[in-house]
Chain A
Amino acid sequence: MSEVLSIIKDRTLTYEQKIVSLARAAENTLSVLPISKEIQEYRREGIICDLNEGNAPYRPRYIVPDYERFMRQGSEFLRLKPARDIWEATNNLLILYSHVPSVTTMPVYVGNLDTLLEPFIKDEEEAYKAVRLFLMHLDRTVTDSFCHANIGPGATKAGRLILRAEKELQDAVPNLTIKYSKDTPEEFALEAVETALVSAKPSFANHEMFVNDFGINYSIASCYNGLPIGGGSYTLVRLVLARLAKQSNNAGHFLEEVLPEAVSKMREFMDQRIRFIVEESGFFESSFLADESLIYKDRFTAMFGMVGLAECVNHLLGAKEQKDRFGHNDAANALGQRIIERMHQLVSEHNNQYCKATDGRFLLHAQVGIDTDYGISPGCRIPIGEEPEIYEHLLQSAPFHKYFPSGIGDVFSFDETVKRNPAYLLDIIKGGFSEGLRYISFYASDSDLIRITGYLVKKSEMEALQQGKQALHDTVALGLGAVQNSGILERKVRHNG
C-alpha cells in the first residue's frame, strides 16, 4: 500500500490528479488478464508496454462520440434537449464532455467544433464570447492536453472564431487539428497557420488521406490519432523497437524472427485486453453513450503502436556516424521502411472479431513516447539533435505516413520571424501533403506553449512544476519528463533556409 500512501501525500498532485492516480493504483491490484509468460517477459523488459492502460481495462482507451448526433437529439440520460442557441450548444457539449470516459478519465475527442457550432453563430461578437468562454472552460476543467478538437476542412464563421479565441487564449487544452484539403480556402488555412505560430495549434491533417482510410466520418483524437467517429480504439499498446532491436545484430534475423515473434505476442496481448473490455467489463451494456447511439461497438478498432524506429535501424546497422544513420543515409532509411512494411504486413494478417470498424484489423500507430523514455525516438521520427534540413526531413519522413492511419506526425519549431510570412509555412504543408505526409505540427521558437511530442504544454508551467509547484494539467508532468529525458527543448529551430 506504500504506492497508495505516497499518492495521498504527494504535494505536487492536485486533488483531481490524486483521485485518478488512486483509481489506477486500485485497478492495478488486480490481475484478471490471462497473460502468457512470454508476454510478461516482453513487458518486463519494456519491449511491450500498455502505456498505463491498467490491468483491468473497464472502458475503451479512446472514445470518439458522435457529437453531431448528440446535437440533433440531445440526451435522455443527461436530460438535455437539442440546443437552440450558442449558449445552449456550448453548455450541452460541456455537460456531455464530463461523461465521456477515456484512459485519462477525460475526453480525448470533443468534436469537429466549427461545424457543430456553426448553426448557432448569429451575432458574431456574442458568439465569440460564448466560444471563448467555452474553450477556457475546457482548458480549466479538462485538465489533460490529450483532449482534442477538430476544425475544417471548410471555412466557417465558427472556425474563424475558434482560431481567433485560441490565438488570444494560448491555452494547452484543447489540442486542435485543422482537417486540410485541396478545397480548404487559402485564407482560412493562412489564419490557421498564423494561429499556430502564436499558440502551437492547430496541427494540419491531410484530409484526403484520412478520408481515403476511414471515409468522411473520421476524427483526430488524443495526440494525432485517426479514428472512426461514433467509435474509437479499445486499446493502444506499443512495441518499443529500440529495445527489441537489441535481441538481434542483423536486419535479416530481426525481420524474419525477432520482429514476427514480438508482433505475434503483442497481438495476443491486445486481443486479451479487448476481450476483457467487450466481454467482461460490461462497458457497452452500461454506458448511456451506447444506449443513445453516440457510440457503436462496431465502430471500434485497436491501435498497434510502435516507437523507436531510428534507434532500431541504427543498432541493426551499427551506424555510429551521422552520415550512416537513420534520417541521413539511404540504406538506413530503406531498412526503416522494410521494418515498417514487415510490421504492417504482420499486423494486417491478424483478425480480431471486435475490431469491426477496420474489418477485424488493428491499425498501426506511431507512438510519440512517454515521459520516462530515454534515448527512444517517437514513432518513425528522426532523433532530436540529428534533424537534417527541413526539405530533406520532410522527404525522408513522408514515405512512412501511409502505413499509420491511426496516427503519425512530425513536429517542427520555426524561428519566430516566420510569423511575417505564413504563406511560407502553408507552402511547406501543401508540399508535405502532396508527398504523402499525413500530419504536421509546428510552433514558433518564442512560444511559451509548445508541442512536446503530440500534446501541448507551457514551458512556464514545466518550470513551476520543477520547483515543486502543482500544475493544473496532468500533461505538464509528462512534458517535463520528456524535456528532461528526450531533449524536447533542443528540437532544431528552422531558421530561414
Chain B
Amino acid sequence: MAEALVNKILPFSSVDGPGNRTVIFFQGCNFNCLYCHNPETINRCTGCGLCLDVCPAGALRSRNGRIEWNSANCTGCDACLAACPGKSSPKAVSMSVNDIMKTVEKVKPFISGITVSGGECTMQKEFLAELFDAVHKLGLTSYVDTNGCIDFSKEPELTFAMDKAMLDIKSYDDGEHRMLTGMSNALVLKNAEFLANKQKLYEIRTVIVPGILDNYRNVAEVSKLIAKLDADIRYKLIRFRPVGVAGDIKKVGIPSDELMEELKKTAEKNGCRYVVVV
C-alpha cells in the first residue's frame, strides 16, 4: 500500500476549513516562501544527523543513514527543528492511508472532515485520492489546502476525489510571486479559475506583509478575480506574524488593524461578499 511522508496530524482545528477538521500536514514543499511559518515542512530529511546531539530527551538516533524518531521519548521541545540546516524535520513519519485513518476514526464524531495541508500536500497527490475515498466512506469531507502548484485541470482523479480546495494567491504579480516563493504564479491563477468553475474552491488566501509585498495591489486584483469567478468564495486576508518564521523577514512588523480593515473594505468594494481577516 502507498505511503506518504507526514509531518504531523492535528486532530482538531478551527482554522482549516468549515467546522472542526483534522489536519494532516504532509512533508515537502516546492515553494520556498520568505514568510513560511513552518519551514521544517519544506524538505525531506537527508539524514545528516546534526539534530542528534541537540535532542535533550534521547528521542533521535541514526540507523543506516536515516534518522529515527522515538515519539514516546520526545518532549516536543523542537530543538531538532532549530538545529536542522535543511528546512526539514526528523519527526516526519511515513504513513499509509490506514495509519492516518486510525486517527481520523478516533475523532470522527467530533469533526466535519479532514484538511490536507503541508508542506504542499499535492506533491503526494496519488496518495490523496486514496485517502479521500476512505474519508468519504465515513461520511466526512476532504479539503485540500494548496499553493496551487499542480495543474488541477490535468488531475481529474484528485479534483474529483476532493470536496473543495483552499488556495493561496500569495501575489498577483508574477515577479513579486517569484521573489516571494521562487515560483511563477501563472498556474496558481489558472487553478483559481478552473477550481471556481468546477465549484471546488472554498477559499482564497493572501498573506499581508507590510514593506515586502504590494498588499494593496494584491488584494485589489485578487478580490476582482473572486468577484468575477464567484463572489461567495471566502477571501481570507492573513496578517503576517513572525512566529515560526526564519530569516530576516522576522523583523517585519505585524500589519496594523487599520491596514487590514482598509484591505478588507477594498475587497468588499470590489464585490467579495465573504471577506475574513485573521
- Mark A residues whose CB is within 8 Å of B: 389-391, 394-395, 417-418, 420-421, 423-428, 430-432, 434-435, 496-497
Contacts and interface: CB of A to CB of B under 8 A. Distances in A.
A212 to B, nearest CB: 19
Contact of A497 (B13, B19, B106): B13
Contacts of A432: 109-110
Given A420-B278, A434-B109, A389 B11 contact: yes
B14 A424 contact: yes
A420 B19 contact: no
Nearest to B18: A423
Contacts of B189: none
Contacts of B14: 417-418, 420-421, 424, 496
B111 interface: yes
B12 interface: yes
Contacts of B10: 496-497
A431 B11 CA distance: 13
Given A389-B11, A431-B109, 13 more contacts: A391-B106, A391-B107, A417-B15, A421-B14, A421-B15, A421-B19, A423-B19, A424-B20, A428-B20, A431-B20, A434-B109, A497-B11, A497-B23
A382 to B, nearest CB: 17
Nearest to A434: B109
A424 B115 CA distance: 13
Nearest to B110: A431
Contacts of A420: 14-15, 276, 278
Given A390-B12, A417-B15, A421-B14, A427 B278 contact: no
Contacts of A423: 18-20, 112
B109 A496 contact: no
Contacts of A430: 109-110
A390 to B, nearest CB: 6
Q: Which DSSP category, helix, strand, loop or mixed, fits chain A's interface?
A: helix
A178 B109 CA distance: 21
Contact of B112 (A427, A434, A435): A427
Given A391-B12, A497-B11, A497-B12, A427 B276 contact: no
A209 B74 CA distance: 41
Contacts of B276: 420
Contacts of A435: 109
A183 B106 CA distance: 25
A389 B12 CA distance: 9
B13 A496 contact: yes
A432 B107 CA distance: 10
B15 A496 contact: yes
Nearest to B113: A427
A267 B11 CA distance: 44
Contact of A427 (B15, B20, B23, B106): B20
A411 B13 CA distance: 19
A427 B107 CA distance: 11
Q: Of residues A391, A420, A423, A434, which shows the largest number of chain B Cβ atoms within 10 Å of its Cβ? A: A391
A408 B109 CA distance: 21
A324 to B, nearest CB: 15
Contacts of B108: 431
Interface string B75-118: 00000000000000000000000000000001111111000000
Given A417-B278, A420-B278, A421-B19, A427 B11 contact: no
Contacts of A389: 11-12
